[in-house]
């Protein structure tokens, strides 16, 4: 499985200039580190599956002495490793761009970014396993419409539900809140991991 992870990470060398340009641009613009981590990791997931779809590379991978469980597991482990690699790049970028490490101040952003990557990956990978990347375009369009709808209706939703949510959040400390989010993220990641393995094991190539 280690070689599969190396393969996915090495393939990103082609996109390294794009990653660095994006990182510098958005950190310079003052974007929260969490968003930078999320977007870079999402692009990583999409690139790995596009590479597998290209020229039916997934069929070649399955002809190698790896189980389907190992192939899927490499995607989940590789995404987390890539995210961990991105974090110090963001830290160094902030040091040179903003002339301040601000590590303590941004610690929450790094943690939230990592947990958000877990949640997003947990949602997307089963779709990439079940369908070809190019067939997911309608799904992305649907999701985009859904996000726009939520953004437009955020004031209404906040007025309707915010009081109850805020009352709940006030009753728990920041540490407990982070632990709650972490448990949810890890739980979703684990369920998604198992689901993707089962989908791939039953999938005809």
Overall number of domains in the chain: 1
Give the whole-angstrom CA distance, residue 48 versus residue 46. Answer: 6
Cβ neighbour number for residue 7 with a 10 Å cutoff: 16
Residue range 159-174: mean pLDDT, rounded: 59
Domain range enclosing 61? 2-201
Helix, strand, coil in percent for the chain, rounding step 5: 90, 0, 10
Q: Give the model confidence (pLDDT) of 79-90 as tens digits.
A: 999 888 888 887
Cβ contact 27:95 at 8 Å: no
Residue range 69-88: mean pLDDT, rounded: 88
Q: Give the model confidence (pLDDT) of 44-66 as tens digits.
A: 887 887 777 765 666 666 667 77
């Amino acid at each position: 499985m280690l070689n599969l992870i190396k393969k996915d990470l090495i393939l990103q060398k082609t996109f390294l200039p794009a990653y660095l340009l994006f990182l510098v641009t958005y950190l310079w613009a003052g974007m929260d580190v969490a968003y930078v981590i999320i977007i870079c990791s999402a692009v990583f997931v999409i690139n790995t599956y596009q590479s597998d779809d290209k020229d039916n590379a997934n069929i070649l991978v399955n002809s190698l002495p790896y189980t389907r469980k190992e192939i899927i597991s490499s995607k989940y482990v590789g995404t987390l490793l890539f995210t961990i690699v991105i974090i110090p790049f963001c830290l160094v970028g902030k040091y040179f761009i903003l002339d301040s490490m601000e590590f303590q101040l941004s610690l929450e952003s790094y943690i939230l970014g990592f947990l958000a990557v877990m949640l997003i990956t947990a949602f997307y990978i089963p779709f990439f396993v079940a369908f070809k990347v190019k067939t997911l375009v309608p799904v992305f369009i649907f999701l985009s419409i859904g996000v726009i709808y939520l953004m437009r209706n955020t004031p209404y939703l906040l007025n309707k539900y915010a009081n109850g949510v805020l009352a709940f959040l006030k009753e728990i400390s920041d540490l407990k809140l982070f632990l709650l989010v972490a448990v949810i993220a890890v739980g979703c990641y684990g369920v998604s991991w198992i689901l993707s393995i089962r989908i791939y094991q039953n999938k005809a190539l």
